[in-house]
Structure 1
Amino acid sequence: MSDQAVPTFSTAERDRRWDVARAFMKSEGLDALLVFGEHEDAGPAPFAYDMWFTNGRAGTTVVFPRGGDPISLLPMPLFTMDHLESTRRGDIMWIPPENVRLSRDSGAIAETLNELGLAKGNIGVVGLEPYLPWHPEAMVPYQLWNSVLGHFPGVEFRPVTVALSRLILPLSQEEIAAVRYSASIGDAMVRAMVDTAAPGVPESEVYAAGMSAGYARGTIPPAMHLWSGPDPVSTGWPQWGYRPQAPRILQDGDIVFSEVFSQFGGRHTQHQVTITIGEIREDFQRAADVARASYDAGMQALRPGRTFGELVDAMLTPIKAADGWVLQTGIHSLNPI
Structure 2
Amino acid sequence: MVRAVDISVGTVPAFSMAERDRRWDLARAFMEREGIDALLVFGEHEDAGPAPFAYDTWFTNGRAGTTVVFPRDGEPVSLLPMEMFTKDHLESARRGDVVWIPPENLRMPRDSRAIIAALGELGLEQATVGVVGLEPYPPWHPEGIVPHRLWDAVRTAFPAARFTPAGMALSRLIMPLGPEEIAVVRHSARIGDAMVRAMVGTAAAGVPESEVYAAGMAAGYARGTTPAAMHFWTGPAPLASGPPPWSYRPQAPRVLEHGDVVSAEVFSNAAGRHTQHQVTLTIGEPHEELRRAADVARAAYDAGLNALRPGRTFGEAVDDIRKPYADAGGWEFGPAVHTLNPMIAAGGFPNDASRRMAGAGAYPPEDDHRPTMAADMVLEPGMTFALEPNYAYGRHLAYLGGTVIVGDDDAIELNPYTARLLRAEGSPTRPA
TM-score (norm 2): 0.76
Contact kept, 8 Å, 1:25 with 1:31, in 2: the verdict is: yes
**TM-aligned CA deviation for residue 191 of structure 1:** 0.5
1:82-97 correspondence to structure 2 within 5 Å: 82-97=88-103
Q: Please say if 1:302 is aligned against 2:303.
A: no
Q: Which residue does the alignment assign to 1:291?
A: 297
**TM-aligned CA deviation for residue 291 of structure 1:** 1.4
AA at the equivalent of 2:38:
A
Q: Please say if 1:234 is aligned against 2:211.
A: no
Q: Which residue does the alignment assign to 2:335?
A: 329
> In the TM superposition, what whole-angstrom CA distance separates every residue of 1:31-89 from its partner, at most 9, and x where no partner exists?
11111000000000100000000000000000111110111110000000000000000
Q: Which residue does the alignment assign to 1:224?
A: 230
Of the three residues 28, 31, 38, the one matched with 2:34 is 28
Contact kept, 8 Å, 1:36 with 1:50, in 2: the verdict is: yes
AA at the equivalent of 1:138:
G
Contact kept, 8 Å, 2:136 with 2:144, in 1: the verdict is: yes
**TM-aligned CA deviation for residue 232 of structure 1:** 1.1
Distance 2:307 2:211 in 1: 38
**TM-aligned CA deviation for residue 15 of structure 1:** 0.3
**TM-aligned CA deviation for residue 119 of structure 1:** 1.2
Of the three residues 68, 73, 78, the one matched with 2:79 is 73
Distance 1:210 1:329 in 2: 24
Contact kept, 8 Å, 1:80 with 1:102, in 2: the verdict is: no
AA at the equivalent of 1:263:
N
**TM-aligned CA deviation for residue 4 of structure 1:** 4.9
Distance 2:41 2:256 in 1: 45
Distance 1:37 1:3 in 2: 29
AA at the equivalent of 1:66:
R
1:1-337 correspondence to structure 2 within 5 Å: 1-2=7-8, 4-336=10-342
AA at the equivalent of 2:79:
L
> In the TM superposition, what whole-angstrom CA distance separates every residue of 1:84-112 from its partner, at most 9, and x where no partner exists?
00000000110011111121111111111
Contact kept, 8 Å, 2:264 with 2:278, in 1: the verdict is: yes
AA at the equivalent of 1:189:
M
AA at the equivalent of 2:309:
R
Distance 1:215 1:248 in 2: 24
**TM-aligned CA deviation for residue 322 of structure 1:** 2.2
RMSD: 1.2
Distance 2:316 2:125 in 1: 46
Distance 1:85 1:276 in 2: 46
> In the TM superposition, what whole-angstrom CA distance separates every residue of 1:280-315 from its partner, at most 9, and x where no partner exists?
111111211221111112112221122222222222
Distance 2:168 2:324 in 1: 33
**TM-aligned CA deviation for residue 321 of structure 1:** 3.2
> In the TM superposition, what whole-angstrom CA distance separates every residue of 1:133-188 from its partner, at most 9, and x where no partner exists?
10000001111111111111111111100011111011101111111111111111
Q: Which residue does the alignment assign to 2:348?
A: none
> In the TM superposition, what whole-angstrom CA distance separates every residue of 1:255-290 from its partner, at most 9, and x where no partner exists?
111011110111111111100011111111121122
AA at the equivalent of 2:321:
M
Contact kept, 8 Å, 2:128 with 2:164, in 1: the verdict is: yes
**TM-aligned CA deviation for residue 334 of structure 1:** 1.4
Distance 2:300 2:205 in 1: 30
Q: Which residue does the alignment assign to 2:414?
A: none
Structure 1: which 4+ aligned runs deviate by more than 4 Å?
none
User: Aligned with 1:33: secondary structure?
Assistant: strand
Give the fraction of aligned pairs with identical amino acids, expressed as a percent.
69
Distance 2:9 2:65 in 1: 31
Moved more, 102-111 or 294-303: 294-303
Contact kept, 8 Å, 1:33 with 1:63, in 2: the verdict is: yes
Distance 2:324 2:309 in 1: 19
AA at the equivalent of 2:252:
A
Distance 2:131 2:318 in 1: 32
Distance 2:272 2:50 in 1: 11
Distance 1:3-1:34 versus aligned 2 partners, 3 A rule:
closer
Distance 1:245 1:107 in 2: 44
Distance 2:136 2:307 in 1: 30
Contact kept, 8 Å, 2:209 with 2:256, in 1: the verdict is: yes
Gaps of 5+ in 2: 1-6, 344-432
